[in-house]
Chains A and B, each alone.
Chain A
Amino acid sequence: MASISSRRLAKELNEIHAQGCPVGIELKQADDFVTWRFSIEVMGESLYKGEKHLLQFRFDPSYPISSPAVQFVVEDGREAPIHPHVYSNGHICASILGNEWSPVLSVVAVCVTLQSMLASCKKKERPVDNDRYVKNAPDNPKKTRFHYDGPYLFLRYLPATATRD
């Protein structure tokens, strides 16, 4: 049975199986239509020569209308590539994963974009706000743009009368 997203994902998966992934990208896990994993490697000369990273996609039921949650896997000794747009918890700051997402993009297209993001990197460094971000980061990177401030002020106007009674 198909949920909204699974038809599309099934189609993408068939294409990957039929045509294979672009060079340097390998499908590692796609047992369901919730989480997929790819290994990603920059080919040729780059700062990341010889490094292989694991990229994870999580899809919600409204994929591809809404973007997938994409991050590098940082568990079992794996680390996120050191890059000015990649946080040490694996979260990636890339506009195509946020407000520039378009349902025309596909999982493989995202892999290729991130691969070339690494390939064109000039200096290996973490984002300047890495420590602060990682400390408070939400589990799902898609929620990141909401987390500039704590949500504490919601209750700012709970009137004093509530306690006065």
Chain B
Amino acid sequence: MDLSDETRIKATSEEANEWAGKNKSPNTPSPNFISHIFYLTAAMSHYGYLKTISTYNDLSKVMEEMQRHLDMLTGDGSWRNGPRQARIEAAIKLTKDEITKVKAQQLSFEVQLLDPELVFQSIGFTTFLSVWLIRQADPRKTHPSPVVELPLPQEVPMSFRVLPEYLVEDIVDYLVFAVRNVPESFALSGKTEVMQFILTFLTSTWYIKNPFLKSKINDVLFMAIWPYGRERNGILGSMLNTHPMALKHLMPALMHFYIEVEQTGASSQFYDKFNARRNISFVLKAIWDNPVHREALNVEAKNVDKFVRFVNLMINDVTYLLDESLSELTQIHNIQVEMDDKATWESQTPEHRRERESTLRSLERHASSYTTLGRSTVELLKLFTAQTKTPFMMPEIVDRLAAMLDYNLDALAGPRCQDLKVRDAEKLRFNPRALLSDILQVFLNLADQPEFVCAVAGDGRSYKKELFERAADIAIRRTLKSVTEIEKLRLFVVKVEEMKATLEAEEDLGEVPDEFLDPLMFTVMRDPVILPSSKTTLDRSTIKSHLLSDSKDPFNRAPLSIEDVIPNTELKAQIDAFLTERRKNSGSFQQPQDSNVNIPKMEVD
């Protein structure tokens, strides 16, 4: 077999050639018969079986495409009895004939590919290959007995890196195919191996270079918890909640991968990222009720820097996805209103109407993905804020979290919420009540955190007392929340209002010397730090939130990490002294102010 042109798991072709050269020796005995058979089977399966599967998968894409074409042709049926009727009917017939043909092809592929004996043999070989692959990465080279220790060492052995990438790809592609189409075939054997394979490479993602492959491993995990037949938790659901390896490594693996997909570097990274995270959130939900997994999460949350990055990404996603879905829903609403006005609509040119209709259809397509994804991320936020609150209270997180929640509460319960009324909301997977209920739950989860109260009070953009009252009314009317919960929410608003008054009083510090102000945010610095390369001083929370999205010094674009900043202790002391002084003054100020209030009364008397 000539492998010189094959992509390697994690090595350049030069590295691979060098390695091959170094390890070639005339004295090496030729591989034995069993080895020959093993490598030949791997190659046969790569060129034969898996190629056929990929052709079969392409057929479903063709099918989807044609179905969409058919929908487009059919449209709203307004062409019937018009001059174009004959032409469109002919086109529809043509498409339907094509669909029948493709369907027949699909069925014949299935007969072959899903043959029980072949599937049984292939699952056996694929899981064997996966065990063999883990053993190549296992530093003790003993897997599966004893089982490999996770995560794998940081250093990836060259003997693993030069293996052809298609070995991993074939395992993953076959698992995707088999778990999706014949999950019941895993009833007898293969589950443990599949789980070990997933956990090994999701905890130790640096063993594989190709981001798509890693995403596909994550896809296998997702499909493995998808219900089939009478198995409500998919092929792996119950194992993930009982097997010691899963209990120990699944939670860290999911968090690790959630963060890692942020930078896949691929041009299509945008939806790959959300696709992967949506899968992760499904898996998290499937294991959420398990106290052992929750304990693993608490352990993870102790690694504050990492967990804050995770939380930051989650907030970014919710912000983006909700903003996107709500703005698309508003546009859909507007077009629907336009169409409802029959008189004006009929008077538009046919071109204009066609254009608006096609815009509407494409909006609907997008909106349903965004609403689904947005909803699942909010659910995740809801679960996490109930379980572990501290990471959400970090200064670089909490203000953004509060602003985002207020903003979305305003969209769902504020005066503009009528704009979200669309027909067929279920078709768009848009459930405003459930979403509102989840967002309120996040507020309730965090209501007892002083930092959160402060952040909501400090959000001058969307926060309004009335907004929470409206939301509470809706929640009662639609029985989204219990009376106790609503009471808790009202209490929270009272606390926020109090805090707001305090903040307003504090904000009124009068003239603040410029050097005490953060040069980017113009707020008084509480923890001034010096950036090592530009020598600029700014508040730690400002540079922290900047570094979450851009790891450079904003003033000169030099690389920067938060560990490198130098506390400006001298300035901090000055600011603290200044604040104490001002507070003292404004405190003494308040007395006469209060008595002032009474003066006019006395005059009236």
Contacts from A to B (Cβ < 8 Å):
1-8, 10-11, 33-34, 61-62, 64-66, 102-104, 136, 138-140, 143, 146, 148-157, 159-162, 164-165
Contacts and interface: CB of A to CB of B under 8 A. Distances in A.
Given A3-B459, A8-B522, A153-B275, A162 B504 contact: no
B420 to A, nearest CB: 15
A151 B366 contact: yes
Query: Closest 5 A-B residue pairs measured CB to CB?
Result: A61-B403, A1-B460, A3-B460, A3-B461, A161-B228
B243 interface: no
B589 interface: no
B366 A150 contact: yes
A154 B271 contact: yes
B415 interface: no
Contacts of B320: 143
Interface of B: 176, 179-181, 183, 219, 222-223, 226-229, 267-268, 270-271, 274-275, 278-279, 320, 323-324, 327, 331, 362, 365-366, 369-370, 372-373, 399-400, 403-404, 407, 457-461, 500, 503-504, 507, 520-523, 542, 545-546, 549, 554-555, 557
A65 B369 contact: no
5 contacts: A4-B521, A7-B521, A103-B554, A138-B324, A150-B362
A13 B373 CA distance: 38
A62 B455 CA distance: 13
Contacts of A3: 403, 458-461
Given A4-B403, A66-B549, A161-B227, A155 B520 contact: no
A74 B531 CA distance: 42
A103 B557 CA distance: 11
A146 B270 contact: yes
A140 B274 CA distance: 19
A1 to B, nearest CB: 4
A103 B546 contact: yes
A150 to B, nearest CB: 7
Nearest to A164: B228
Nearest to A5: B461
Contacts of B223: 157, 159
Nearest to B555: A104
A34 B270 contact: no
A85 B229 CA distance: 54
A115 B12 CA distance: 46
A151 B369 CA distance: 7
B357 to A, nearest CB: 14
Nearest to B327: A139
Nearest to A4: B399
A155 B370 CA distance: 11
Given A1-B458, A34-B461, A155-B372, 10 more contacts: A1-B503, A1-B504, A2-B458, A8-B521, A10-B522, A61-B403, A148-B268, A152-B365, A154-B373, A157-B275
Given A7-B521, A8-B522, A104-B554, A160 B180 contact: yes
Contacts of A7: 521-523
Contacts of B507: 1-2
A153 B271 contact: yes
Given A102-B557, A154-B275, A6 B520 contact: no
A5 B223 CA distance: 42
Contacts of A65: 520, 542, 545-546, 549
A146 B266 CA distance: 12
B271 A151 contact: yes
Contacts of A61: 399-400, 403-404, 407, 459, 461
A159 B180 contact: yes
Contacts of B183: 161
Contacts of A10: 522
B222 A143 contact: no
A33 to B, nearest CB: 7
B226 A64 contact: no
B520 A8 contact: yes
Given A138-B324, A152-B369, A102 B554 contact: yes
A143 B324 contact: yes
A104 B365 CA distance: 39
A150 B368 CA distance: 12
A106 to B, nearest CB: 10
A80 B516 CA distance: 42
B327 to A, nearest CB: 5
B532 to A, nearest CB: 17
Contact of A149 (B228, B268, B323, B457): B268
Counting chain B CB atoms within 10 Å of each CB, the highest count among A6, A11, A103, A139 belongs to A103
A157 B196 CA distance: 22
A103 B555 CA distance: 8
Counting chain B CB atoms within 10 Å of each CB, the highest count among A1, A11, A34, A153 belongs to A1
A148 B407 CA distance: 27
